[in-house]
Each structure stands twice: as structure tokens, then as C-alpha cells.
Amino acid sequence: MNQKSATPKDASAIILLNQDESKVLWAQRNPKISFLGGFHAFPGGKTDETDAQISVKNCADKDLEKFIVSAVREVFEEAGVLLVRNGEKLTKGQRASLHDDLISGRSNFAEILADWNLWIDAEDFFYTGHWTTPKFSPVRFKTRFFIAQCPPKQTPYAAISEMQNVEFITPKEALKRWANSEVLIAPPVLISLQELAKNESADLQKSIKTLLEKSQKCDGTINFIELNPRIICFPLKTETLPPATHTNCFIVGRKEFIVIDAASKDESELAKLFELVDSFIERGFRCKEIIVSHLHKDHFGGETFLQNHLHERFGLEIPVSAHKITAESLQGKAAFQKFIEADEIINLQDEAGASFEIKALHTPGHARGHLCFYDAERGFLLSSDNVVGAGTVLIAPPEGDMTDYLNSLERMKNLPNLRFLCGSHGAAIFDARGKIEEYIAHRLKREKQILKAIEENAKTAEEITQIVYQGLKPELLPLAVKSVEAHLEKLKSENSS
Ligand SMILES: [Zn+2]
């Protein structure tokens, strides 16, 4: 089964600078939003059809015109800042009332601008390029970024419930919070902050030029995501279960690093990963091992290619490792030189050479020998297939075991200092504990429904599935039957104990 990646939707964002241009506006997306909930971001959003109805003065680039309008409308909707000419005559109260008109739908943005003789001038905006959400995401945007300055006497605020913690922050402080794993940020925000922070001489035009060049060089393509300076998520296209299309490979550490789930067998996918790994080796960084998290086919396959590649190119002998059960189950399909023990500590180094630890947690249930990886210091859990950001987790006997799975989830939930997680499919998750609790609650609710179906005389797993999974697409029914079987086994073992 090979699912196509989602088509990106047009979007715009504003990198809003304060009056002296030392700080940039960011805000936290409401953690309840399904797309990048809890992430810190610049104000922005999807292009609206009506944005093309508004003309922008002094706009030489007609392709960009509607995206400037989208950006202006979005920053007004989300942060209450009106980036228009002739807007200084409006009082704070009038702006708030116009905001209310826009959000409630009483007026559209074109009407507001026309009624108040306000206009957008392209000279107030500097285009810094576009970036597209990586292919692994079920929702994708092609977002155009613009730098603008906040007008005097306007103070941004959380103008809609989708945004919170709106603040001006120096790029350096923002990056510090990200490095300490206090916030999650998406790649384009990170790239912009890094460029602005680098610019010691406060030469804004130079930053704009560099950002634009970076975006143009790769046509806005993002191959990997730096979750923090210790962990890189590198989605690779694999034959995984829809709606997921990719498996996240993780590179943890820098001066000493490991590669987890180099899962793709596709040459062009692997070439992109090799490019990054090679650049690390060329900088003198040491790859300690290549790990397979568990035995499913969308998690292994590329590790031997990577191992061979590093041998041929650099003469390195890097062991491939996994939990003993995984290694034994994959005999003949993959070769392992090392076993990972439950709770084994892997010592790594960051870019500055500072040591840190990753703990390999044996968390069976989805598969025997399944490993998760935990950086307790940063509160960051790599949850492999136990909790994922895209798709659902299949517990299919005989490999899957519901009792083990729920015990594993319980253990993951109680990890000390747990903050964020990233699974093998989809984006990172801001509220790790909340997400794991949601998973546990979902399974227990399903179990209750199954018990009720049994009370109502459903006999076989198939009959129970028909009752419990009403409305499910027919092609997904066999998987649902498997899941019901897993619940039945759990209930049976509880009755006999
Ligand atoms: Zn799996």
C-alpha cells in the first residue's frame, strides 16, 4: 500500500519585528489544534479566496500580491496588528471592533480596508522565500514568509483562541528555549530565527537576502526537522500503513551520534539521508551505531545500506543493533552485530562535545522487542510506533499484545520530566503525557464497547468488529478484527488470572 503525500495548500506568514527590530513576534499555537498544536510559530495561515480581490500598492511582483494580503489579514486575525497605510488614525478600540467584524464574518477584509480608506503597500514587506511542509505530514502548506515592522502604538495580543503566549522575543532567546527543549518549532521558523540571530550587525537586508537564497536553493523543500539541537527527525518514504506515507528516521547526537530506523529501501530517499550523515562524518563526528526500533517492515531495510555506505566511503565499521527479540525475528532479513538491552543507556555527544544520555526503553505491545528512546534531561521521548503523530497504532496478535501495549503506554506516561514526543510517523507532539493518556483512554473505551457487544451476543471477533467499528471503510475491517482479537486476548488473560 503506497499512499500519496498530501498536496500543499497556499499560505503566508509574517516575521513581525518590533520597532527597533531587535525582537521578533512569535506565539504558541493552541495545543488542541491538530496541525502542529502547541508549536511556537509566526502569525500566518491559509490563503483565502477573497485575498486576491484586494490590490496591493507598489507591488511589482503580481504573484506575491495575494500572499502579502493573506499575511496582513492573518496577522490582524491572530495578533490584532493591522499592517496597513493610513491605519494610524484608528484607535485601539476601533481596531478591536474591526477585528471583531472580521472574525465574526460581519465584514470581510476587503470591505474593512475599503470602508476605512486603508491600503496595503508592498514597500512595507520584505519577502524571505517560501517553505513547504515536509511530505510526511497529512496536512501540508506552501508558506510565503514576509518580514515587516510592527507599527508604532500597536501591541500584538492573542486575538483568537488558536493563539496563546504572543510575545516579542530576541531570536537568540527563542533559540535558547528551543535548544533547552522548552518549545517546539517548525523548520521554517527555526531557519528564520537562526538567520536573524546570526546577524550581529543587525543588517536586516543581509538576513533577508540570505533567507531568500536558502529558500530558492532548495525550492522550499525541507528534508529533515531539527526537533532540538540533539535530535533530528528525517522522514523517509516507506511502505507503511496509510494514512502515513513515511517512517521517521532519527539521528540523535552530533559529535557522537546514532541513527534509528534508516528504514527506506528507496535509493533516492536514502541518498538524502546519506548526504546528511556523510556531512557529520566529514566534520569528524562519530556514528556509534545504527539501530532498528522494532521488527516491522517499515522500520528496517535501509540500515544495511547505510552500514555498507559508511564502510565503502569512509572505511567505518558501524554495528547495526536492535533488541534481541527483534534481531532474532529478523534473521535472514537483516544482520545485527549488537543487541540493545532493556533500559540500556547510550552515551552521546552534542555539537559542542557535551555528553548526554539516551535510554533505550523496551516497550513491547505493538511488537515484541519494540524500543523507544528517551532523553530524560530534555524530556524528549522518541516513541517509535507506540504513539505516532500520523495514522493509528495497530496491535495485531500474535505479534501485538494489548496487555503489554497498555503497560508500555503506562510506563511511557510516567517517565520523569516527560514533555514532548515524536513517533515514527508524523510530526512531534507537544503534550506528550496528554497524548499518551488519550491513547490509553481510547483503548479502554474500545474495550468497554467490546464487552458490551459480547453482552449483546456477538460471538466472534468479526461479529464484534461489525458492531464496534460501524462505518469503518471495508478495506480497514481486517485490521479492526485484529485489534478486536488483541482486546479479546487481554480480557481472556485477565479472566484466567
Ligand atoms: Zn510497527
Q: What is the DSSP string of 89-120?
A: GS-HHHHHHHHHHHHHTSS-HHHHHHHTT-BE
335-368 pLDDT, tens digit per residue, is: 999 999 999 999 999 999 999 999 999 999 999 9
Q: Separation of 438 CA from ligand 1 center, angstroms?
A: 19
* Residue 1 binned pLDDT confidence (cut-offs 50, 70, 90): very low
Close Cβ partners of 26 (under 8 Å, ≥ 6 residues apart): 40, 41, 42, 166, 167, 169, 174, 189
Output the CATH code of domain 225-437: 3.60.15.10
Cα distance between residue 47 and residue 262, in whole Å: 36
Q: Separation of 424 CA from ligand 1 center, angstroms?
A: 8
Q: Separation of 330 CA from ligand 1 center, angstroms?
A: 13
CATH 3.90.79.10 fits 9-172, yes or no: yes
Q: Separation of 349 CA from ligand 1 center, angstroms?
A: 28
Task: Identify the helix (H) or strand (E) that includes residue 405.
Answer: helix 402-413
Given this model, what pLDDT does residue 23 score?
96
Q: Separation of 252 CA from ligand 1 center, angstroms?
A: 20
133-184 pLDDT, tens digit per residue, is: 988 888 899 999 999 999 999 999 999 999 999 999 999 999 999 999 999 9
Q: Separation of 413 CA from ligand 1 center, angstroms?
A: 19
The most confident of 50-54, 60-64, 420-424, by mean pLDDT: 420-424
Question: What 3-state DSSP class applies to 19?
Answer: coil
- Asked if residue 67 has pLDDT above 80, the reply is yes
- Asked if residue 70 has pLDDT above 60, the reply is yes
Could you tell me the three cell numbers for 324? 534481541
85-102 pLDDT, tens digit per residue, is: 999 999 999 999 999 999
Q: Separation of 331 CA from ligand 1 center, angstroms?
A: 17
- Asked if residue 245 has pLDDT above 90, the reply is no
Cα distance between residue 455 and residue 480, in whole Å: 19
Percentage of the chain modeled with pLDDT above 70: 99
Q: Separation of 480 CA from ligand 1 center, angstroms?
A: 16
Q: Are residues 408 and 368 in contact, defined by beta-carbon separation less than 8 angstroms?
A: no
Q: Separation of 384 CA from ligand 1 center, angstroms?
A: 8
Given this model, what pLDDT does residue 119 score?
98
Percentage of the chain modeled with pLDDT above 90: 90
Q: Separation of 426 CA from ligand 1 center, angstroms?
A: 14
Q: Between the CA atoms of 205, 206, 207 and 210, what dihedral angle is there, to the nearest 10 degrees? A: 120
Cα distance between residue 43 and residue 228, in whole Å: 22
Which range is least confidently modeled, 44-53, 303-312, 319-328?
44-53
Q: Which protein residues have a CB closer than 5 Å to ligand 1 (ion)?
A: 296, 385
Q: Separation of 120 CA from ligand 1 center, angstroms?
A: 51
* Residue 200 binned pLDDT confidence (cut-offs 50, 70, 90): low
- Asked if residue 79 has pLDDT above 60, the reply is yes
363-405 pLDDT, tens digit per residue, is: 999 999 999 999 999 999 999 999 999 888 999 999 999 999 9
Q: Separation of 226 CA from ligand 1 center, angstroms?
A: 23
Given this model, what pLDDT does residue 3 score?
62
Given this model, what pLDDT does residue 346 score?
98
Q: Separation of 401 CA from ligand 1 center, angstroms?
A: 13
Written as one letter, the residue type at 114 is: A
Q: Separation of 312 CA from ligand 1 center, angstroms?
A: 30
Close Cβ partners of 207 (under 8 Å, ≥ 6 residues apart): 128, 147, 195, 196, 198, 199
* Residue 63 binned pLDDT confidence (cut-offs 50, 70, 90): confident
Q: Separation of 325 CA from ligand 1 center, angstroms?
A: 14
Q: What is the mean pLDDT of residues 201-225?
A: 92
Cα distance between residue 420 and residue 37, in whole Å: 12
User: What is the reported pTM?
Assistant: 0.94
Cα distance between residue 277 and residue 321, in whole Å: 18
Q: Separation of 425 CA from ligand 1 center, angstroms?
A: 10
Given this model, what pLDDT does residue 391 score?
82
Mean per-residue pLDDT of the chain = 94
* Residue 239 binned pLDDT confidence (cut-offs 50, 70, 90): confident
Given this model, what pLDDT does residue 34 score?
86
Crossing angle for the helix pair 92-104 and 62-79, nearest 10 degrees?
A: 110
Q: Separation of 348 CA from ligand 1 center, angstroms?
A: 26
